[in-house]
Structure formats: structure tokens, C-alpha cells
Structure 1
Amino acid sequence: MSRHKARREPRAHWLLFLLGVLLLLTELGLQGYAGGVGAEGPHGEAVRAAATGDGPVLRYTAGGVEAARLPAGALALTFDDGPDPRWTPQVLDLLRQYHAHATFFVIGSQVNRYPDLVRRMVDEGHEVGVHTFTHPDLAALPPWRQRFELALTANAIAAATGRRPLLMRPPYLSMPDAVDGYLTVLADRDPRDWERPGADAIVREALHGPAGAGAVIMLHDGGGDRSQTVEATRRILAQAGGRFVTVSEGLGLPPAPAASTGMVVRGTALRWSQTAGRLLAAAIGWIVVAGTVLALMRLAVQVGAARRHARRSRGRWGPRRYLGGVSIIVPAYNEAANIAGTIRSLSGSDYPGCEIVVVDDGSTDATAAIVRRMARELPAVHLLRQANAGKPAALNAGIAAARGDLLVLVDGDTVFEPDAVGRLVQPFADPAVGAVSGNTKVANRGGLLGRWQHLEYVVGFNLDRRLFDLGECMPTIPGAIGAFRREALRDVGGVPGDTLAEDTDLTMAVLRAGWRAVYADDAVAWTEAPGTLRQLWRQRYRWCYGTMQAAWKHRGAVRERGGAGRLGRRGLLYLMLFQVLLPLAAPLVDVYAIYGALFLPWAQVAAVWCGFTALQLATTAYALRLDREPLTPLWTVPLQHVVYRQLLYLVVLQGTVAALLGGRQRWQAMARTGLAAAAAPAGRGRSE
């Protein structure tokens, strides 16, 4: 692919991605914080005792605490924990019916959700005070958090009403340190209506006291089922003597002043942010649910298809037999580390008369010299040399020079088992088969990265190939071990060179030409996987981008019939759904996981994570068993969610951006170490 002009890879999208993730986390964090509203509970004994002294309304000054009490005949109904969309309107309706005023101590996060209710309170002559933003126990919080709770609520009230609140009631009546600028309103009478003792008990306690005495009565219009409170409010308004006033009216204080422009702006921004966070949390929650359902469905379909494929594969092609001459094409660019092992494994094949054509694509290392030396010892080995023109050109040159009608295409770092070629070509006994995929295994499995790639090959690639085989929509015959009928290659004009995933592009073209592509799981070859994260990134980026190119190139298959239609409506849809769209949604899953870990119940989060991990472990174990592999790498599966999965979805993100911007990338050879030849089993008996 040297004719493609290399372009600088886009970088700005990573900054946008990070900013987007931070914005999501911030919005979700605000939603989680605002959503952590507590419920009323037992009151602090020390504060209740203070309230029975000089009065329930306290002002903290440098000289101490000043207390005040409502005058005789004045009753101040106060309602905490609202606004609530169900109960607050009922309370307001009763107050309007009896021409009474009340004081509402509101929760800031609820104000942002229902600002119209707070505006109605002010418009109908009621008073609004601060009851914190999330209803925490203020006495248990550090001073900065106390100030934060009060400031957020004050800004929310200012945005909803245009007024700056002057009154504050601490939840649980637990006295905070940061009360500067507020009158702290406790209560003379607390019917404890949050315990739901019955409307009769609430009325009895609310009206209990000396006849004609002024009092602050504490009730609740939010935080739970307040039906008893609503009924008790009706009876209190109907039965009590005296006048019902706001706290400020009862004490002769001026009404709340107009809020500053800054408070209104801050409160409006806070409301918009909280609303955006709530909508984002809901949207991401649905995306996570949909993605989880799709992932589970995929696992179920993969396992079901694998079971069926495994049963069907037994004796599917009959006894092994000779099907004619086979030519093995090995394109090589700087493969000095592995090429000798590859040639030795191919020359040791138990399928008779294999021709091995190695095409050196302008290597700058000792690749050509090694092949030339081996060709003198092995008559079946032939060396072709050409100036660097890319892998597709090298494959086409080898195909043109080969003599066999069955062509096995092999990467220069792949080691075949002795029976691999013979097993790989058996499906060609069916004249409708034009391409066969073998079973690629990772040779260098040392370390976490090697084990993760090994599991990905076994679980992801090979389970998918079994599914594609059953669905007759195989989109990729891998470059490491794949076979083609010469006639099929002739029908599509050889190996295409206009995409980065030439193997996927070629396979799709063969299917659209009317040929079948199948999977021979017993034809095993060993390949050297990338040994570093950088190498893995470059390889997967090329695969991802090339697959997108090939899918776009063959998008017309969606409208076609026969094998091409199956490719388009099954294979391409599967690729786009599970290899592009689902990975692109994966960052949202991780962001939501962080949100869940911080704000959702730990038991719920742990149950979901453990359940999904257990399912992954079971699927992986089954896939390993099908491939006759040991179960020892299973312990690395939970760790895949920490590093490996994130790297793969970031690759998809990079590939998608490159595809949208029309970027190109040259065929890049991975730095080889020779581990494939060193680590691959000597024969099939060691792989079982």
C-alpha cells in the first residue's frame, strides 16, 4: 500500500474526547450528588432542648446566640423536604383555601427539579427557606461542605424566585457551624409526621400547648408518603385558633430581599447543569442497558452457534484426502526473526507436494538471505524478490508464480502444525467453497498482554468464525492461515490493494462473487502477537480502519441476494454493531461505572459486575474447551476490563475518526522477535 500518501494522524479528537469524558463525569457527579437526598430521621436532642428555651428562632452573632419566639396567637406552619410534585400542590391548595400563609424549607436539588412549585409558593405569599441541597446531617459535615450545601440551595432559590432566602432549618435539627447570614428556625412543636403516626396523632401534637400561645409547627411536604400530613394540615387549618403566618411575618421581619444577578445566574446555571446531568444519567443508563443486553445476546448466540458448529464439524468433510496440488504463498517484509520457523513448519506439512513461494517485499534485513539459504536445502521452497510494494502486491506476485489450484496464504510470522495444510484444504472437496479460514492461535502468551490476546483470539475471533460459518457470511479469512481456490481469486481480480485489511476485503469480494467461505477449526497455526501496547495499538488500528474501509467498499452487498446478501445483512451488520458501534459506546459504560461506584448502592454495582464477569468467565472457559486449550488464563479475564478493553475501544474511536476524516496508513510491519517459532508447539499433540 505504498502508493497511499501517508497523512498525519488526527490528534485534536483525543483532547475533545478527554474533555467530553470530564464533562460527562462532572454532570453525572452533580446528578449523583443532587440525587443523594436523604430522608427525615431522629432529631438531635441538644438542639431540641435549646428550642424549648428562649425560642425556636436563633440568630448567631459574635456575642452569642439570640433567640426569639412568635407572639401569642401566631402560628407558623412550616414544611420541610419539598418541593414534591405530589404533596406540595395539595398543601398549597389547602393553604389557599383557608387564606393561610406558611414557611417552606426546601431542598435545593428539588428546587431545581420543580422550580414552578417554588415560584408558586412565593407568588401566593408564602416564605421559602433553606433546608440544604441534599438533606445531609450538617453537624457531621466539615465547614466547607456546610457552606457548599447552603450556597447551592440559596442559588437555586434565587434562580427560581428572584429572592435571596434569609431563613434556614438544618435537617435532623442538627446545628451546623456555617450559619452566618441566616436565621435558624427550629420548632416549638414537632408532631414527627415523618413517622406516619396517623393524622389524629399529628393534629394532637401540632396543637398541643398553652391556649393562645404562638408556636412554630414543623411538618413535611416531601421525602416520602405525606398523605397523613396533608390530612392533618387540613384539620389544623380548620380547628386551630389564631392566625397562620410565615415565620418572618410572625416576628415582624421584612420579606426576603431580591437576589443579586450573580446569584440568579449561578442558580440558573446550576439548574441547567443538574437537569443535563439527570438527562445524561438516564440516557447513558438506557445505553448501558441496551449495550448490556446486546452483549449478553451476542454471548448467548456465540455459545449456541459454537456448540452447533462443533457438532457439525465432526466428520463434516469426510476422511482426509488428497485434493490436488497446494501452493503456499508467504509475503515477507523484514521477517528475519520468524521466517525460518515459518518455512520449516510449512515444509514439514503432512500434505504431499506442497509448494512454498516466499515473496520478499523489499526487506531491509536478512529475510531474503535466510530464504535463499533454505531454498537450497528444501526444493519445494522458491524465493521471489520485488521492490517494496505492499502486502497485496506481494501476495498477487506469489499467486501469479504459484502452480497449484489451491492457494494457502500465510503471514511470515506464522508457524503451521504438521497437519494444518491438509486439514485446511479439506473443505475444498465441496466445489462451492472458495475460501477457508484456519484456526489462529497466539504463540507468545507470556505476560498479561499475551494472555489477553490469546483469550481474544479464542473467544472473540474463533467463536465469531464459528458463528459466521453457520450464517454463511464469513467476512474475514485471516492472513495468518487462510486458503483460496485459484478460480475464486481469478473471479475477484486477485488480492485488492485499496484497503488496509486486504484479507477482509478479499473475503468479502469472494463471497459477493458467489463462493462460500467456511471455518476449519482443526487447522491450527501459531502467530506472534504484538509484544507491547504500542505495537498492539498499531496493529488493531490498522485492522479496525481496514475493516471499516472494506465494509464501506462492500456496502452494496446489503441490497444483493444469495451469498452476497447474507454477507451484507448478516456479516456487515454484525461487524458494524459489535465491532464499531458497541465499542464506541463502551466509554459511556466506563463513565457510568465510575458514577455507579460513587453514587449507586455498592451491593447493586458489585452484583452487576460480578454477574457479568461470571458470565464472561463461563463463556471463556467454554471457548477454551472447544479449542482444546487449558483453562489457566481464566484468572486474567477480570483484569481485561481494566486495561485491555479500554485500549481496544480507543482503537475503534481512533479508527472511526480517521475513517471520517479520510486518513490513510501504510502497511506497517510489526517488530518481530521470533517468539512464534520458539513458543509454538512442535506438533498437534501439544496443542490439545
Structure 2
Amino acid sequence: MAARRRRSARTPRTHWLLLAVTLLVLLGGMLLEVLVVERVDQGARAKEGSHATVPSAVSTGGPLLGRDDKGLTSRRVPDRTVVLTFDDGPDPEWTPAVLDVLRRNGVPATFFVTGLAVSKSPEVAKRIVDSGHEIGLHTFTHTDLSKAGPLRTRLELEQTRLAVAGATGVSSRLVRPPYSAKAEDLDDEDFRAAKGLVDAGYLVVLSELDSQDWTRPGVDPIVKAVTPRDDRGAVVLMHDAGGDRSQTVAALERLIPSLRQQGWRFSTVSDAFGAPGAPTPASWGDRTEGSLVVFTVGASQVLNDVMAWLVIVSALLALARAVLLVCCAVVHRRRRRPNRHELRLVPESVTVLVPAYNEEAGIEATLRSILASTVPVRVIVIDDGSTDGTADVVHRLGLPGVRLVVQRNAGKAAALNTGLRHCETDLVVMVDGDTVLEPDAVAELVRPFADPGVGAVSGNAKVGNRSGLLGTWQHIEYVIGFNLDRRMYDVMQCMPTVPGAVGAFRMSALREINGIPVDTLAEDTDLTMALERAGWAVTYQESARAWTEVPVSLGQLWRQRYRWCYGTLQAMWKHRGAVVERGLGGRLGRRGLPYLLLYQVLLPLLAPAVDLFAVVSLFTDPLMAAVAWFGFLVMQLVPAIVAFWLDGERFRPLWALAVQPVVHRQLMYLVVIQSVVTAFAGARLPWQKLHRTGSAAQDAPVAATLRLGER
């Protein structure tokens, strides 16, 4: 129990809560943008309703609706007075242009703003107020209040009022309902909505002269539409947002001087009507809440902009990776080694080390496959304190050329170092206790050592137990993600890992770096990087095939990949100095490490948010989301086809690529996230042992028949 508590203390758990909260916040921001912000409609609305319930005092009255002691009131603008009003802003481009015209002419105006526009351009809203103009409310999302219920209406106006308070420091009770009409054009629904606003304490401002500038009819028609026909005062409706408003600005430049020459005066709504609802200083609470509204909308917009760019960047990086992998695979295949590189073997020239911990189920098949090699081999099995019958199986078999060394449990790296101390040959092959070698695997592994500069050779690890969906996913991953990548690393001379499942080493190179490193969980990656930094070349021999057992459950897969990823992070940090080195170490530092950092750490860290954005896009823009998904699938499929062709594999399992992102890829992303968080938290990860079933040994001969032929 105490040990379990210590393990729990070493492993940070709060990161899962943090991840969940982060994704929920991201989802909320995305939904706010795509379900609210992007649904704003600023077009016209058809008016076909009944006028039966509209009082004649309203339909024949003025553009200002309010309430006094006697009930609903309607007021008119004083004669020869023009009230310029602007709807739908503020806009970062056109509102300042309108304000400049008003400033040059010394004319006040009233701006009816939407909460979203204020939240997106709070500095423009503040300039309206600071310039001495009046501000009114035009709902938050430009919704049709005649169709909205009381709750939606209250929310729309309250959130707009708060946004205005947060951005400008003032509070307004002036309201212009979107799609509003002249008093005589109000229908029953319009009147019901207007009366509800008045009952709630707002002043409803309609219009008398509509510029129709949103249709962009031209400067002359706009000026004509808003020029009074007689001496009666009027509320003029124009727009400072919602599209190109250059005609509106040009019309103002002509309208204001013209009316002034005719003796007209300009006023705000409050001044013209003597209305008590003029904007007043907002309370501290309203300013605080309003600032939060402004921040939330602004952050949502920034978030979605960032996510859109991340999708684009991810797509470009995925495309670049696909092109790089395919091109390097073609180059790797066309290479031909000179005859002088053929190694002339002598009896007992190769030692095979097999570190074993609880490998009872598969150790026999592993040993028999090694002894079936086409070259003479010596086998050293290092039992690392197994608690099952691993050592008993090796003793019982009594296979010639097999030596058993038993030690207390100290981990795989320590077991390999023990084996190296008993090794008497210059070449050593290391395989896992569940690995089944093909007969020519050892011969193929040692061929590149004819080049005296080669210190290690990576074999081609293939999945033996590939049955079931999880096995199929890992089979695809091994063929594409591991072996196709290794072809690229070989061409670029920056191999980061010789897999523990199958790899060969030169003993003199191992002695130079003091054997197998024991201070990281990915001893194979750590070892490979250390060899390259010491000046030894590491190559890939795809013809050296070995069959390995992979996890058969998501829990086992999680534990295995968690250890791999965490160990890789350790090795990358340990060998970060390679970035400034020369030679092979520099190639690793400036080619291999950035590739690992980008494609195995940074992109997986961002991937859950990108996938969440893609899921939300399915509901907002299904066609674009489908095109993007198909594009990413193609970028996965093309390298997969190339990799399967090069490895002589049948293409049938590739159907699983279509569903791989749903479970397998998400699991890999979460593994990377937990590994990074664990690394930053400074926690030490214990060794994660995969439970062996021997299924790779049972299935490997069957799997081998799936190859289409030797290359």
C-alpha cells in the first residue's frame, strides 16, 4: 500500500484535469465564434405582417417610443433638425472614417452599436464616446427582436449594454431594434417587441429617412434619400459597418454642408428629443462585467483565427513530411552498395544478446529463430530477475550455443551491459525476448559493418500479432511511422533510434561510449544518439526483418508508448548539445532532433485542439471539413502505400487508416501530452513492462507469408 502511494505521488494527476478544462475552454471559445459571432446577419428583412394591434398614435407618431405617467408615448424631432444615426458598428475601418467627417464638420451623431462589434473593436467604440457622440444599443448579434422571446431579448440587450460599459465606461438605454422600420411601417410583431423594450425601461429609436446605403446604390441616391423634403425634422438612418461604406462616407461629405447651408441643425437623439435616457457613466460592476464580455469575444475571435492558422500550418507540415518521406524512400531504395561492402563472415563471428524479463511465453521461439540464422551465432540470454519460468525454459531447452546469465532485476539497459561483459566478438546483435528473427536477419544486419565507420545498424521490426483492429493500427504504424522514417533518417544520416527489438552494434563503438546508457527509459534512442555524437555512422537495413509482439490492449499500449515517449524526451534533452556539433553528431542535432521535436512532440501537443476545431467545423462548414479530412487522409495514404510496397506488404490493412484518428491517434497524442507534463513536473517514470503472451511467436510465420516477395 505504501509503495502504491509513493508511485501515485511520483505521477502527476492534475494534468488530466488541466487538459480537460483546457479543451472545454477551447470548445467554448470555438462555439462562441462559430455559433454566435459567425451567425450574425445584417441583411434586410421582409415586412409582411399585420398592423391590427399597432395604435394609431404610434403609427402616425414620431420615431421615439418611450413611456410617461400616462403610458406609451411617441415623440417627433423638432423642425429643421436632423439626427444622424449609424447602425451595426463599430467597424475598425469605416467608423473612424465616419467620425473623421463628423469631426471636420463639427456634427454630433448617435451610433447604435452591436455587442459583438464593440467586443471586436472596443477602441473604436471608446473613440465614439470620447469624440462627444452618443451611443445606443443595437442588440448583441443583430437578431430580429420581433422574432425573439423575452429571454433572448433581455440577454441580447443586457450583454450589449455591458459590452458598451466595458469598452467606453458609459451605460445607455437607447435602443434601435435591428431591421426596424419607420413608425408607420411597424407591424404587430414589431410593435410587440418595441412595447416590451419600452416596458423594460428602454427608449426605442426608429427612423424617418432611410439611406438604404447597405445596398450601395451610389452617392447621389443616398444623399437624395436622406435629404428632408420639407421643414419637418427627421432621424436619418445610415450604416457605419456591415460592408463597404465608402459611399456612405462620400454622401456625408456632401450632405452635411448642403443641409447647413439651408439652415438645418444637427443633434443627437437625446438632445433632439430631450430624452432622459442619454448615456450615463457606467457603474464599476457594469464596467467590470463588460470588460469580461469584451475580452471573451475578443479571445474567441483570436482563438479561432489561431486555430485556423494551426490547421493550415499542420496541413503544410503534414504535406512536407509526406513528400520528404516518399522522396527519401525512393532515394534509399535506389542506393546500391559496392561489392567491397560485403562482409566475409567467420564461424562464431556474431553474438546475439537477449535481455529477458518474464519472457517465458515467447523465449523458446526467440531462441530457435536466432539459432536458425544463416550465419554462425552465439546467444547470451540475460535473465533480469524474472519472476516466471523464463530461466527454467532456457535451461530445459539446453540449446547448443546458448548461454544463460541470471542477475537480480536491474532493468533492460543493465541486463544488456551484463551481456556485453560476456561478449567476445566484435559484432553484437541485440533483440528483445519476444522477437522472432527471420533466418537471414543476422546476416543482413552485419553486412553494413564492412564499412569501418558504421557503428550500429537498425533492423526492420515488424508486427507479428497484427490481428484485430489494434494490431492492424500498430502494424501500419510500424511500417509507416517507424521503418519509412528510418529510411529517411538513413538518407539524411541522422538516425535517432536503433530499435531494441532488432539492432546490431560494433563492440569497439560500444566500448567507446561506455556501453548502454542507464539513465533514460529509452536506452535504445539514448545509445544511438551517443554513438552518432561519438562519430559512428548508424544505418538502416530493411532486409533484416524481425517479428515482435505488440500490446493487445489499449492499457498496455498506453504504458508502452508512455515509456517510449518519455524516454525519447529524456534522450533528446540529454543530447541537445548535438545541435552545435560537427560531423555526424551535428547532423543528428540539426536534422534528427528538430524533426523529432516538431513531429513527435510539438504537433501532437497541439493536435487535440486542432482535432476539436475540425469536429466543430463539421457542424459549421461540413463541406470544408470533409475536404480537409480527405486531404489529411490522402497525405497519410500516399506514404502508407509507398511504405507497404517497399516492405512487400499487402495493402488490405490500409483501410484502417480511415478510422485510426478516432482512437489510436488520439491515444498517441495523449501519451505525448502526459509525457511532456511528466517531464516538466520532474516526476520519475518507473519501468513499464509489457505483459507477454507469445502471440508474436505464434503469428510470425503466418505474418511472414503476407509479404509479396523479397526485394
TM-score of the alignment, normalized to the shorter chain, above 0.5 = yes
CA distance in 1, matches of 2:490, 2:314: 25
After TM superposition, give the deviation of residue 306 of structure 1 in Å.
0.9
After TM superposition, give the deviation of residue 313 of structure 1 in Å.
5.4
CA distance in 2, matches of 1:680, 1:235: 86
Are residue 252 (structure 1) and residue 289 (structure 2) matched? Answer: no
Q: Give the match's secondary structure for 1:634.
A: helix
Seen in structure 2, the aligned counterparts of structure 1 residues 463 and 100 have a Cα distance that, compared at 3 Å, is: same
- 2:286 corresponds to which residue? 263
Could you give the per-residue CA deviations for residues 446-472 of structure 1, whole angstroms, max 9, x where no partner exists? 333222211211111111111111122
Q: Give the match's secondary structure for 1:439.
A: strand
Q: Give the match's secondary structure for 1:36.
A: helix
Pick which of 579-588 and 433-442 moved more: 579-588
- 2:239 corresponds to which residue? 220
Contact kept in structure 1, 2:116 and 2:140, CA below 8 Å: yes
Are residue 272 (structure 1) and residue 274 (structure 2) matched? Answer: no
What amino acid sits opposite 1:261 in the alignment?
W
CA distance in 1, matches of 2:156, 2:226: 29
CA distance in 1, matches of 2:337, 2:653: 27
- 2:639 corresponds to which residue? 619
Q: Give the match's secondary structure for 2:690.
A: coil
After TM superposition, give the deviation of residue 596 of structure 1 in Å.
4.4
Q: Give the match's secondary structure for 1:197.
A: coil
Seen in structure 2, the aligned counterparts of structure 1 residues 297 and 316 have a Cα distance that, compared at 3 Å, is: farther
Contact kept in structure 2, 1:167 and 1:184, CA below 8 Å: yes
- 1:305 corresponds to which residue? 328
Seen in structure 2, the aligned counterparts of structure 1 residues 448 and 317 have a Cα distance that, compared at 3 Å, is: farther
CA distance in 2, matches of 1:536, 1:676: 15
Q: Give the match's secondary structure for 1:327.
A: strand
C-alpha RMSD over aligned residues:
3.0
Contact kept in structure 2, 1:418 and 1:683, CA below 8 Å: no
Identify unmatched segments of 5+ residues in structure 1.
none
* Aligned ranges 1:174-323 → 2 under 5 Å: 175=190, 177=193, 179=197, 180-207=200-227, 209=229, 211-240=230-259, 242-254=264-276, 255-312=278-335, 322=345
- 2:186 corresponds to which residue? none
After TM superposition, give the deviation of residue 659 of structure 1 in Å.
2.4
Seen in structure 2, the aligned counterparts of structure 1 residues 668 and 42 have a Cα distance that, compared at 3 Å, is: closer
Identify unmatched segments of 5+ residues in structure 2.
1-5, 181-188
After TM superposition, give the deviation of residue 99 of structure 1 in Å.
4.1
* Aligned ranges 1:85-234 → 2 under 5 Å: 85-141=92-148, 143-173=150-180, 175=190, 177=193, 179=197, 180-207=200-227, 209=229, 211-234=230-253
After TM superposition, give the deviation of residue 197 of structure 1 in Å.
0.8
- 1:328 corresponds to which residue? 352
Q: Give the match's secondary structure for 1:681.
A: helix
CA distance in 2, matches of 1:60, 1:633: 74
* Aligned ranges 1:463-482 → 2 under 5 Å: 463-482=484-503
1:80 to 84, 87, 90: 87
CA distance in 1, matches of 2:469, 2:143: 44
2:376 to 312, 328, 353: 353
After TM superposition, give the deviation of residue 315 of structure 1 in Å.
7.8
Are residue 442 (structure 1) and residue 473 (structure 2) matched? Answer: no
After TM superposition, give the deviation of residue 412 of structure 1 in Å.
0.8
Q: Give the match's secondary structure for 2:460.
A: strand
What amino acid sits opposite 1:338 in the alignment?
G
1:43 to 30, 37, 45: 45
The TM-score normalised by the length of structure 2 is 0.88
Seen in structure 2, the aligned counterparts of structure 1 residues 314 and 141 have a Cα distance that, compared at 3 Å, is: farther
CA distance in 2, matches of 1:354, 1:647: 40
CA distance in 2, matches of 1:616, 1:63: 73
Are residue 651 (structure 1) and residue 671 (structure 2) matched? Answer: yes
After TM superposition, give the deviation of residue 521 of structure 1 in Å.
0.6
Seen in structure 2, the aligned counterparts of structure 1 residues 145 and 310 have a Cα distance that, compared at 3 Å, is: farther
Q: Give the match's secondary structure for 2:209.
A: coil
After TM superposition, give the deviation of residue 526 of structure 1 in Å.
1.2
CA distance in 2, matches of 1:561, 1:253: 79
Could you give the per-residue CA deviations for residues 139-166 of structure 1, whole angstroms, max 9, x where no partner exists? 4555433332222111111223333221
Seen in structure 2, the aligned counterparts of structure 1 residues 143 and 616 have a Cα distance that, compared at 3 Å, is: farther
* Aligned ranges 1:454-465 → 2 under 5 Å: 454-465=475-486
Pick which of 479-488 and 317-326 moved more: 317-326
Seen in structure 2, the aligned counterparts of structure 1 residues 342 and 315 have a Cα distance that, compared at 3 Å, is: farther
What amino acid sits opposite 2:170 in the alignment?
R
Contact kept in structure 1, 2:342 and 2:448, CA below 8 Å: no
Contact kept in structure 1, 2:650 and 2:706, CA below 8 Å: no
Seen in structure 2, the aligned counterparts of structure 1 residues 380 and 140 have a Cα distance that, compared at 3 Å, is: farther
- 1:424 corresponds to which residue? 445
Could you give the per-residue CA deviations for residues 646-688 of structure 1, whole angstroms, max 9, x where no partner exists? 2222222222232233322333321112211122135855423
Could you give the per-residue CA deviations for residues 545-585 of structure 1, whole angstroms, max 9, x where no partner exists? 21222223233333332222222222223222322233223
The TM-score normalised by the length of structure 1 is 0.91
After TM superposition, give the deviation of residue 225 of structure 1 in Å.
0.9
Q: Give the match's secondary structure for 1:172.
A: coil
The count of residues paired between Structure 1 and Structure 2 equals 680
1:593 to 614, 617, 620: 614
What amino acid sits opposite 1:298 in the alignment?
R
1:664 to 656, 669, 684: 684
CA distance in 2, matches of 1:567, 1:285: 32
Are residue 339 (structure 1) and residue 363 (structure 2) matched? Answer: yes
Q: Give the match's secondary structure for 2:280.
A: coil
After TM superposition, give the deviation of residue 37 of structure 1 in Å.
6.4
Q: Give the match's secondary structure for 2:110.
A: strand
Contact kept in structure 1, 2:356 and 2:384, CA below 8 Å: yes
Q: Give the match's secondary structure for 2:542.
A: strand
CA distance in 2, matches of 1:328, 1:203: 92
Q: Give the match's secondary structure for 1:76.
A: strand
Pick which of 661-670 and 190-199 moved more: 661-670
After TM superposition, give the deviation of residue 489 of structure 1 in Å.
2.0
Q: Give the match's secondary structure for 2:10.
A: coil
- 2:183 corresponds to which residue? none
CA distance in 2, matches of 1:624, 1:510: 30
Q: Give the match's secondary structure for 2:563.
A: helix
* Aligned ranges 1:491-506 → 2 under 5 Å: 491-506=512-527
Pick which of 97-106 and 262-271 moved more: 97-106
- 2:185 corresponds to which residue? none
CA distance in 2, matches of 1:682, 1:462: 21
CA distance in 1, matches of 2:86, 2:127: 15
- 1:411 corresponds to which residue? 432
Seen in structure 2, the aligned counterparts of structure 1 residues 487 and 117 have a Cα distance that, compared at 3 Å, is: closer
Seen in structure 2, the aligned counterparts of structure 1 residues 161 and 686 have a Cα distance that, compared at 3 Å, is: closer
* Aligned ranges 1:6-85 → 2 under 5 Å: 8-32=10-34, 35-36=37-38, 38-46=40-48, 53-59=60-66, 66-85=73-92
CA distance in 2, matches of 1:124, 1:279: 28
CA distance in 1, matches of 2:559, 2:474: 14
What amino acid sits opposite 1:628 in the alignment?
G
Contact kept in structure 2, 1:478 and 1:503, CA below 8 Å: yes
Seen in structure 2, the aligned counterparts of structure 1 residues 138 and 609 have a Cα distance that, compared at 3 Å, is: farther
Seen in structure 2, the aligned counterparts of structure 1 residues 116 and 389 have a Cα distance that, compared at 3 Å, is: closer
CA distance in 1, matches of 2:301, 2:457: 51
What amino acid sits opposite 1:485 in the alignment?
R
CA distance in 1, matches of 2:23, 2:245: 40
CA distance in 2, matches of 1:634, 1:480: 24
CA distance in 1, matches of 2:340, 2:683: 43
- 2:573 corresponds to which residue? 552
CA distance in 1, matches of 2:69, 2:392: 92
After TM superposition, give the deviation of residue 71 of structure 1 in Å.
4.2
CA distance in 2, matches of 1:622, 1:326: 33
Contact kept in structure 2, 1:317 and 1:426, CA below 8 Å: no
Contact kept in structure 1, 2:578 and 2:586, CA below 8 Å: yes
CA distance in 2, matches of 1:216, 1:654: 62
